[in-house]
Copies of this chain bind each other. A is one copy, B any other.
Amino acid sequence: MNRPRVVIAGMGFGGLFAFHRLAKKPVDLVLVDRHNYHAFVPLFYQVAAAELEPVEIAYPIRTFLRRRPQAAFFMAEVRGVDLQGKKLLTSEGDVPYDVLILGLGSETSFFGLPGVKEHAFTVKSLAQALTLRNHILTLFERAAWGKGPHEEGLLTFVIAGGGPTGVELAATLAEWIREVLVKDYPPSVMERARIILVEAADRILPGLPEGQAAYAQRVLTRLGVDVRTQTPIAGADKGRVLLKEGPPIPTQTLIWTAGVKGSPVGETLGLSLARGGRIPVNEYLQLPGHPEVYVVGDLAYLEDGHGRALPQVAPVAIQEGRHAAGNVLRSLEGKPPLPFRYKDPGVLLSIGRGRGVARIGKIHLQGFPAWLAWAFVHIAQLVGFRNRVYVLSGWFWNFLFTDRIRLILPGGREPAS
């Protein structure tokens, strides 16, 4: 019997855990990703706020493949899927498959608000996080020139979205500015710095109990973050964020964390997509009519028993990736697939250093115990011993010396000089 060729497109959490389950099984594995690393998305915001370096939360995909001659990796941008011809279409060429596991994730959704896509910063990739960090530091350097009041809002940082990413980013950004950058810049610069967290709904953290959200808001306020709920954004243009009501906010920095949508590859399949550009799958995580194609993670749309969409978070992707791989193995053994049931492990959130909110099963925590749980789980889920050591020692150093990396270090092509 021929070994089936299983292609995993996207090495986020879904793809990674599917790979782990299949790595030692009698299948030919082909991994495809636009990057040559698996990155730990839940800590991207800490890269933006100079708490961590990209290298500390990325892991080379090829390291997984060592001593696995039956597995290969191809770096390419996925462009679409030829469902009839059973080929993954990529920027570098076609990749034929017998079984396909699609875990291409999500990208930022700007909801078509005018000017937002053009002017907003995002934290959905390591490059974007670095770009935002460099932008913030460059603004502080510009402010140090003291060019005065005509650059209104130069150090006003507007974070759109009161979900987990917006809250975590606002807190660590506030600590970075108030505790570290304050040692570097004169008071005339520091007094211009402000952080505004803007949320359209009437409260932040809608996924958490109200008491925990209120605690988070108190912490943010104590850190000097101006939390504005019921404040929908209408758009953006150069130097301003426009609100549905009230005067615009002068700013050079709109950070958009307010929404995601499924990878645009979903639109190329010729299917009718669910809300947010997600691909509806059956309870086995298969594409209807194509049992050889599984979709996992942010890109997949599946409802729980109560008609609610599963959230676009790491635990869903991890469990779906594992489950899809399990169903692939069952089908090889001639067994019917098993339906997917999501086991909600809870929610963990850090709100600056040493504070957090957590729900673990039925237990609710806040403050330091929640932060400890958060730190433990995040370190445990990082891939690679070296990365764990670096992240832990980086956090410890920053804590001990109230320090952060403050280098403006763009990569990418720069003209030879």
User: A residues engaging B (CB < 8 A)?
Assistant: 35-37, 53-55, 58, 60, 62-63, 65-66, 72-76, 92-93, 107-108, 110, 117, 120-122, 124-128, 130-131, 134, 137-138, 141-142, 144-145, 147, 183-185, 256, 386, 397, 405-414, 416-417
Contact = CB atoms under 8 A, between A and B. Distances in A.
A290 to B, nearest CB: 26
A133 to B, nearest CB: 9
9 contacts: A36-B141, A36-B406, A36-B407, A62-B185, A63-B406, A66-B184, A74-B145, A108-B416, A125-B417
- Specify how many copies of this chain sit in the oligomer: 2
Nearest to A183: B66
A239 B185 CA distance: 48
A412 to B, nearest CB: 3
Contacts of A144: 72-75
Given A184-B60, A184-B62, A184-B65, A134 B53 contact: no
A128 B409 contact: no
Contact of A411 (B62, B134, B147): B134
Contacts of A410: 127, 411-412
Given A92-B142, A141-B36, A145-B74, A131 B411 contact: yes
A409 B55 contact: yes
Contact of A141 (B75, B117, B127, B183): B75
Nearest to A92: B145
A256 B417 CA distance: 11
Contacts of A416: 108, 110, 117, 120-122, 124, 128, 256
Contacts of A65: 184
B411 A130 contact: yes
A392 to B, nearest CB: 13
A355 B127 CA distance: 36
A108 B93 CA distance: 37
A122 B416 CA distance: 6
Contacts of A406: 36, 60, 62-63
Nearest to A74: B145
A130 to B, nearest CB: 4
A51 to B, nearest CB: 13
A131 B256 CA distance: 28
Interface hub of A107, A126, A134, A409 (most chain B Cβ within 10 A)? A409
Nearest to A36: B408
Contacts of A142: 92
A325 B297 CA distance: 60
A138 B110 CA distance: 31
A3 to B, nearest CB: 18
Contact of A127 (B75, B125, B414): B414
A415 to B, nearest CB: 9
Contacts of A409: 37, 54-55, 58, 126-127, 411
